[in-house]
Amino acid sequence: MIPATLQGRREFILANTRLQRPPHVPEIALHLADEITPIWKLTEEALAEIGLPPPFWAFAWAGGQALARYLLDNPQVIAGKRVLDFASGSGLVGIAASRAGAAQVLCADIDVFCEAALSVNTQANGVACDYAGQDLLDSAPPAWADVIAAGDICYEKPLAERVLAWLHTARGGGASVLIGDPGRSYFPREGLEKLAEYQVQTTRELEDMEVKKTAVWRLP
């Protein structure tokens, strides 16, 4: 069954991952899995539920690596600002934002393991990020956020449409919105400004090729 406490979930992650440095963001260390199938199966067993989505927190996805790289290389974008790392997974983008000088970072994800993943990963990098486990899409975007960063959000059509509508609302409210994406099927092909493009090393465990052309975009 699912570990009942944050400490129990931390121990699950520490026992089933190893500390690694994502190829495109070697400044940051994350507790990551080497293969998707074993950690996926273990997660389903821990939760006593079959058919769960992949454990996104256990991998450094291409869009998140691109966003993290962009923030580290362009700290002026978030220095002294309040940042929301939406669908944070491992916490990679939030950790990069903290390292780049953000005044406050909130990592938000509905996966029950993400709080523990963020806990072990922030500890590994000597930074602090807050965490929210509720579905932020159920309410208006937070008015406090100066910057909202979202990586790898366009892998399913219904979710992509819902998230993008929410992000457009956030932009209308004054937040700067940054999106990292390797050209997934449901990523919009217009209406965004490309800020940077990278060749991100990944794995065929996760993607259809070992190096993904990945861009960081801004909602104008």
pLDDT by residue (tens digit) across 80-119? 999 999 999 999 999 999 999 999 999 999 998 999 999 9
Q: What is the CATH number of the domain that holds 140?
A: 3.40.50.150
Indicate whether 166 belongs to any domain: yes
Return all residues near 115 (Cβ < 8 A) that are at least 6 apart.
6, 9, 131, 133
Indicate whether 145 belongs to any domain: yes
Reported pTM: 0.92
pLDDT tens across 45-69, in order?
665 555 556 788 999 999 999 999 9
Indicate whether 40 belongs to any domain: no
Indicate whether 68 belongs to any domain: yes
What burial class does residue 193 get, using C-beta atoms within 10 Å of its C-beta: 0-12 exposed, 13-18 middle, 19+ buried?
exposed
pLDDT tens across 116-158, in order?
999 999 999 999 999 999 999 999 999 999 999 999 999 889 9
Q: Give the torsion sign (CA, 185, 195, 176, 118).
A: positive
- Range with the lowest mean pLDDT among 149-153, 161-165, 201-205, 209-213? 201-205
Indicate whether 41 belongs to any domain: no
Indicate whether 32 belongs to any domain: no
Give the chain's domain count: 1
**One-letter-per-residue 3-state SS of the chain:** CCCCCHHHHHHHHHHHCEEECCCCCCCCCEEECCCHHHHHHHHHHHHCCCCCCCCHHHCCCHHHHHHHHHHHHCHHHCCCCEEEEECCCCCHHHHHHHHCCCCEEEEECCCCCHHHHHHHHHHHHCCCCEEECCCHHHCCCCCCCCEEEEECCCCCHHHHHHHHHHHHHHHHCCCEEEEEECCCCCCCCCCCEEEEEEEEECCCCCCCCCEEEEEEEECC
Neighbours of 80 (CB within 10 A): 11
Query: Residue 181 belongs to what domain range?
Result: 61-218
Q: Judging by DSSP bridges, how do beta strands 176-181 and 211-218 pair with one another?
A: antiparallel
111's tokens: 């996966």
Indicate whether 143 belongs to any domain: yes
* Phi, psi (rounded to 5 degrees) for 113: -85, -10
